Structure 1
Amino acid sequence: MQDHSPSLLANGPDQSAAPSLIELLRAQISSSSELSFLMEAHDGLSAAIAERAGFNGLWASGLSIACSLGYRDANEASWSHLVEVVERIVDSSQLPVLVDGDGGFGNFNNARLLARKLLQRGAAGVALEDNCFPKINSFVGDRHPLADIDEFSGRLRAVKDTVADDLVLVARIEALIAGFEMDEALLCAHVYADAGADAILIHSRRSTADEMLSFARAWQNRLPLVIVPTKYYRTPISVYREARISTVIWANHSMRAAIAAMRQVCRRIIAEENTASVEPNIPSLDEVFELLKYDELPRAEALYLRPRR
């Protein structure tokens, strides 16, 4: 299996005594006493920006990666597309990456193949959701057929048997998205925990956190609980801490911010037919070069391109 620690070119030598990225992600997700945050990344640039902003972990968002490739979040992008992008995200930062693996792109065999390839590319964890293949984004429409609970448990077991503890495995429950009652979501959580999940992600499309908080109270922290407050974003963070939520994922915000910024710049340039009013409001090329560590290249040239004496 190839070693895919963070890029030496971009980030310098690895420190062998430091915790592995998998250990870092596991520590973040397993703690119920300290709330952790994962920021969405959809390419190497967004990963580098999130790291520079101060985040300690990344969420390789299926929605955002699909959007960046010009696909819909309906399994139009393949697992190989996902794996290639994850490699660039991993290589562009020194942060642990939890990958949105959708439902595993098929049955148990597809899911374990995906997990093995993500491990090879340096991912620290994968989240699998109990949807049928092909899936549709949780916030699109009202038809969200769920996988059979035993069949999905088989996917989780297959992943766990394939990668053991070398990947953090998060089981994402879509029962509330699909309109089922809380009892069904809790049943899924217990079954998925028994199948080997390291954490549970409970998803809700409500505009308030009530549904998620009800689940958290009933779940009683049997496994760490991960949430994605895309719709209930007005909820104060203190509420999540009081509920002993482990991890909050900001799941698509860099992608959405990029759309807004690019839209604004494109409209202004086409209207004004120059970039004079745009330049003061966008990063300079020097900032781009600094972000991606261009200064490392001449140092490497001095080291490796010296003529032999």
Structure 2
Amino acid sequence: MTNQLAATFRNLLQNRNYITGVGARDALEAKMIQRAGFDFVWSSGFCISASYGLPDASILSMKTFVEEALAIKEAINIPIIYDGDTGYGNAINVIYLTKILDEAGIAALCLEDKRFPKDTSLLAGGRQELLDAKEFAGKIRAAKDAQKSKDFTVIARTEALIAGMGQQEALDRAMLYTEAGADCIFIHSKSKTPDEIIQFVNAWTSPVPLVLVPTSYPDLTEDKIEELGKVKVIIYANQVLRAAIKASQEVLSEIKRSKGVKKIENTIATLDEVFDLQDIKSMKQNEKKYL
């Protein structure tokens, strides 16, 4: 089986110093991410959960997350990394998920080694219990065995630093996951400085590339990450969602305060910009051609 976008993603990994992508909650955001020139879209469990007004805590079903990812894929032509959380169960669930994603043309699947049900990683006081490392390695093996296209990428995400288990545990887990077949290692941190991430990267001796999400440590810019080497994937996981929330709150407050929309009309997207993102022009061309 051929998965063209998975092949595109593999090619980017092999031929670029690093690649960047942004988290999306829906197809509209994904279109904007593609138009902004990013390499891929992160189909974000956190952002999709937030779009339902729910915590990122294993509440929504696999079906809901997959449907959102497939809607995103229909809207863009750049690769998608699917945020698979804990895999929605054990290795058997992961096998089913992997087959669906690979057959649908999703480029990559990311799985994290927390226990189900999970809490989002950066939540203060959240549940951060990790699955036994060998059991999680079994999930990674299951995903690799289940993929049908040779280019489908499986990313193993360790939350050892998030859980406060230290550098050695993080390194040991990451190495075990690479032995299980992981194509990339996603190392996460809730530290406000990049120190522990830099320490991990410097200690990483495997040729398997690393994935970073500089949400809590924004001082680690792309130039600095590139200097570290070993990091091939950078994800800006939730900034678009947070920007949308902030802007929407400000617009709503102004409408309520001024009892109208006159003051905000020049600060928001025009209807023509919305029509453009909806591909209205293409629809009208097809109407002339076929109706």
Sort the TM-score into its range (normalised by shorter chain).
Answer: over 0.9
- Any residues of structure 2 matched to 1:284-295 within 5 Å, and which? 284-295=270-281
Q: Is the 8 A contact 2:109 2:155 kept in 1?
A: yes
Query: Which residue in 2 is equivalent to 1:43?
Result: 26
- Aligned mates of 1:257, 1:304 — CA distance in 2: 40
Query: Which residue in 2 is equivalent to 1:87?
Result: 70
Letter in 1 for 2:76: S
1:252 matched to 2:238: yes
Q: Alpha-carbon deviation of 1:166?
A: 4.6
Q: Which runs of 5+ in 2 are unaligned?
A: none
Query: Which residue in 2 is equivalent to 1:219?
Result: 204
Superposed CA offset, 1:111-157 (max 9, x none): 12122222233311110000100010111125411001111111111
Q: Alpha-carbon deviation of 1:30?
A: 4.3
Q: Alpha-carbon deviation of 1:236?
A: 3.1
Equivalent position to 2:61, from 73, 78, 85: 78
- Identity, % of aligned pairs? 38
Q: Is the 8 A contact 1:86 1:121 kept in 2?
A: no
Query: Which residue in 2 is equivalent to 1:302?
Result: 288
Q: Is the 8 A contact 1:29 1:199 kept in 2?
A: no
**Are the structure 2 counterparts of residues 147 and 241 from structure 1 closer, same or farther at C-alpha, using a change threshold of 3 Å?**
same
Equivalent position to 2:251, from 258, 265, 272: 265
Superposed CA offset, 1:184-240 (max 9, x none): 111111110011110000001111111111111111242011001101101232221
- Any residues of structure 2 matched to 1:129-148 within 5 Å, and which? 129-140=112-123, 141=125, 143-148=127-132
Equivalent position to 1:23, from 7, 14, 30: 7
- Aligned mates of 1:27, 1:217 — CA distance in 2: 25
**Are the structure 2 counterparts of residues 134 and 233 from structure 1 closer, same or farther at C-alpha, using a change threshold of 3 Å?**
same
Query: Which residue in 2 is equivalent to 1:15?
Result: none
SS of the aligned residue for 1:46 comes to helix
**Are the structure 2 counterparts of residues 274 and 303 from structure 1 closer, same or farther at C-alpha, using a change threshold of 3 Å?**
same
- Aligned mates of 1:179, 1:206 — CA distance in 2: 10
Superposed CA offset, 1:91-116 (max 9, x none): 11111000110010110011121222
Letter in 2 for 1:21: L
Superposed CA offset, 1:256-302 (max 9, x none): 01101111111111222211111111111111111221101121122
- Aligned mates of 2:266, 2:117 — CA distance in 1: 44
SS of the aligned residue for 1:295 comes to helix
Q: Is the 8 A contact 2:120 2:126 kept in 1?
A: no
- Aligned mates of 2:69, 2:90 — CA distance in 1: 21
1:283 matched to 2:283: no
Give the structure-1-normalised TM-score. Answer: 0.89
After superposing on structure 2, the runs of 4+ consecutive aligned residues of structure 1 that deviate more than 3 Å are: none
- Aligned mates of 1:129, 1:89 — CA distance in 2: 22
- Aligned mates of 1:80, 1:127 — CA distance in 2: 16
Q: Please provide the CA RMSD for this pair.
A: 1.6
Letter in 2 for 1:40: G
- Aligned mates of 2:200, 2:12 — CA distance in 1: 21
Query: Which residue in 2 is equivalent to 1:229?
Result: 214
SS of the aligned residue for 1:246 comes to strand
Equivalent position to 2:195, from 193, 196, 210: 210
